[in-house]
Chains A and B, each alone.
Chain A
């Protein structure tokens, strides 16, 4: 792996959940329905960067996070971590992956086992991975410094297993020992682990190890770990908790005794216990109050700098994303619609969804009331049955009409909604007109009433007056509806109004700042409305 390779490469990742897939359903012959939580997502994460994954609830961002950590089996696609496919890992390689990639969860209440103590929770990863590790191939060496004593009479023995605590460099674990005469040294605390005194000689080890000094013919200094594995783990847990800002006397307390922010810190300590390279932060602050959120965000930033971490930050909160991330990917209904450097994406959002998302966030400033904003209408469609073509087209304020239509966006949007309802037969004919005005037989209106019925239906379905050309088309289609021929109506409308956005799903272009929207490929080929902001 060269320095330029990404740490994580996600390639066309898909994760479908299946509904109606139980034994009984299959016996009854039901077809399983796929819920396309993640539907073909690709992105890279470079070492040391923070990639943000932003989107509304149900867009598949959390599932993406879990699937790329192999907490869910993917339906299709691949994730390459550190040059190896995550889904092909087995045995030791999988264990290494579990050590190198960690996750911090959203809910500080459910992410900690209520029946485990804090010490138990933070030492759990150490137990699972059998920390501390020692490698018999690693050589132990001491670097001796003396003060007031000749170095020639000092012999230092270093235990083989000090690499449990001292990270080896090039196969050698080096400990730093200072030996001096008591006159030079100050008072020695006999309880302190790294210092020992014997007959006027004080030996000190810089690392977190035990030292033992004896004065015979010469001076014998022995450096060892000298603690049980359990002790070592608890000590490590203590220092981790201290690092994330919790006082160290809390190891035997239970999660319910802590506030949400503190629990989130415990979750972070657990994730860091194995010194991972990569951490998925799944909405780490969305359950916290704003002042506590700020504390946790600052902590995460400090830890990233200190431990060279790579983050994938999953969040629905755009301001958090902007504050923390280097690059951002915007997700909508299981797909990435835009991805780019954070400043560029926030200053110059290209995809209409990104634009709308940014517009929707209320700013905490007094200018907020005067701010121009364009909000989206409607709800996110169901991932069971996503719209054809571009998934955002059902809400997009910039959906592209056929080239020769000469229609404004608002009218076009209304016609699209009408089409959708005709296609899904989601129009109740019974309630058209005043009470019992039109008698329906088998869902059709009698010949004579058709015109009046169409007028009444049009009135109800459309809020505005249509230009003559479109009025004619709609009238024709609704007349088909009136006689029960829904299909003809749908065909007529599709023929006239089908947009490029529903025919083809736009792909992310290969740009510095890729965006999946027809506005950008269409702009070159056709005379579609130019992208604006």
Chain B
């Protein structure tokens, strides 16, 4: 019998930009079991990264969590905050949004940790990798020496301590024990010669090794939940395979829970136990891997899977070869027409957000659908009316119902196709998904 480690109820995260209010995440429910790998998959602008960041309280202005509850299952924490904030405790669960910020901050690193897409910008180029990991170890050590105190964690690596550590060797910020732990961690993530490697600077590491080092840093506090935001997107495929293997092994070894954010359905299939497919700030379909990959109901899931060129088996192109003498252009993918929608509040009507791109849009889709039980396992839920009734031509919306397919006006505000958040590291860092180009 598995227990939930994290329950998210009705989470809404909005960004208040000059263009207007952007509903990056709307009324999102999520349940993650202890020790599982839960994947959130979606295109850029779907709100998947914002969801992850909301969970570990990393939303920055102009963004704000406007509604919802995030329940974290931790006996110790429940006990510690029960006196001061009884309303935030329910059994061993604690509603993180109702406890003070310093408590939430104290959970970072020890309970939650995050790894990012771009390891290069996550490390300080002027400190050695070993030092930076040791620093993370040190912070966690102080925190666990005094479990719920938050003061220990606020002593940051200030300029003063830097100067002191240079002048007085005894005032080294990181202790010898932390250094050794850092080396252990580097070894754990498969960095060869960790002793020597610990003394090298980030620029001496390759991309794959830096990603490993970042994982080591995230593991410093032995977190219960690891949030991995596109951990392999910036990596080459052979290195991606290494990093995925590593995450798999670590998960098996430590039993930690992983929340994996990715746009790559292959990575989901490789890593996850359960999946949520996000579109326009909502999870539109969720369930076990089989539910989503084999028994999906939502046309968006269908479209996403249909968009991927197949690597194995006879492709459509080859099938066409058999039919025609001189085949041209090969087989066709079945892409989703149109572009990622605007998440501006004023442009989101009360309808299924996918209806304008959906090949099976019906009159029923003009009111916002609730989550229905899907055909698959008990876990399977779909936010689509097709779960309850068949598609019929009779109720279909006319094709030009939402105007022309190529709606330039909407694109203007949508995150342009994802490139920013998904592929190009330097851009991704500065963009929050779905906020219409608002930069930090």
Residues of A within 8 A of B (CB): 56-57, 107-109, 245-247, 250, 253, 257-263, 286-295, 297-298, 301-302, 304-305, 316, 318-320, 322-324, 343, 346, 356-366, 368-369, 373, 375-377, 379-380, 428, 431
A150 to B220, CA, bound (A): 94
Residues of B within 8 A of A (CB): 43-44, 193, 195-196, 206, 208-209, 236-242, 244-245, 263-270, 289-290, 293-294, 303-312, 315-318, 328-337, 339-340, 404, 406, 408, 411-412, 414, 416-419, 422-424, 427
Chain A residues in 8 Å Cβ range of B329: 301-302, 304-305
| Contact status of A375 and B241, CB under 8 A, knowing A290-B263, A291-B335, A364-B305 | yes
Please name 18 further chain A to chain B contacts, defined as beta carbons within 8 Å, in addition to the given A261-B416, A288-B417, A323-B310, sorted by A numbering.
A246-B406, A247-B404, A258-B408, A259-B340, A259-B416, A287-B417, A289-B419, A292-B418, A297-B309, A301-B332, A323-B315, A356-B238, A361-B237, A362-B264, A363-B269, A376-B238, A376-B242, A380-B236
Question: Would you call A366 and B241 a contact (CB within 8 A)?
Answer: no
Chain A residues in 8 Å Cβ range of B315: 322-323
B311, B334, B423 pick with most chain A CB within 10 angstroms: B311
Question: Would you call A304 and B328 a contact (CB within 8 A)?
Answer: yes
A261 to B337, CA, bound (A): 11
Q: How many A-B residue pairs have CB under 8 A?
A: 192
A293 to B328, CA, bound (A): 19
Q: Which single member of B44, B268, B340, B408 contacts A364 (CB below 8 Å)?
A: B268
Which residue of B has the minimal Cβ distance to A356?
B238
Q: What's the least CB distance linking B18 to chain A, in Å?
A: 16
| Contact status of A323 and B317, CB under 8 A, knowing A289-B418, A375-B238 | yes
Which residue of B has the minimal Cβ distance to A347?
B312
Q: What's the least CB distance linking B264 to chain A, in Å?
A: 7
Question: Would you call A360 and B238 a contact (CB within 8 A)?
Answer: yes
Question: Would you call B417 and A369 a contact (CB within 8 A)?
Answer: no
Q: What's the least CB distance linking A436 to chain B, in Å?
A: 14
| Contact status of A375 and B242, CB under 8 A, knowing A247-B404, A304-B329 | yes
B268, B329, B339, B414 pick with most chain A CB within 10 angstroms: B329
Question: Would you call A261 and B333 a contact (CB within 8 A)?
Answer: no
| Contact status of A360 and B241, CB under 8 A, knowing A323-B310, A368-B269 | yes
Q: Which single member of A57, A320, A373 contacts B309 (CB below 8 Å)?
A: A320
Chain A residues in 8 Å Cβ range of B309: 294, 297, 319-320, 322-324
Top 4 nearest A-B pairs (CB, nearest first) are A294-B335, A362-B266, A323-B309, A260-B417
Chain B residues in 8 Å Cβ range of A290: 43, 263, 265, 304, 307-308
A373 to B266, CA, bound (A): 14
Question: Would you call A259 and B241 a contact (CB within 8 A)?
Answer: no
Chain B residues in 8 Å Cβ range of A291: 43, 303-304, 307, 335-336
B208, B335, B406, B412 pick with most chain A CB within 10 angstroms: B335
A375 to B337, CA, bound (A): 36
Q: What's the least CB distance linking A424 to chain B, in Å?
A: 12
Q: What's the least CB distance linking B268 to chain A, in Å?
A: 7
Q: What's the least CB distance linking A43 to chain B, in Å?
A: 21
Which residue of B has the minimal Cβ distance to A463?
B192
A298 to B306, CA, bound (A): 12
A364 to B268, CA, bound (A): 7
Q: Which single member of A108, A259, A286 contacts B411 (CB below 8 Å)?
A: A259
Chain B residues in 8 Å Cβ range of A57: 236
| Contact status of A262 and B411, CB under 8 A, knowing A323-B317, A358-B311 | yes
Question: Would you call B269 and A292 a contact (CB within 8 A)?
Answer: no
Which residue of A has the minimal Cβ distance to B423?
A287
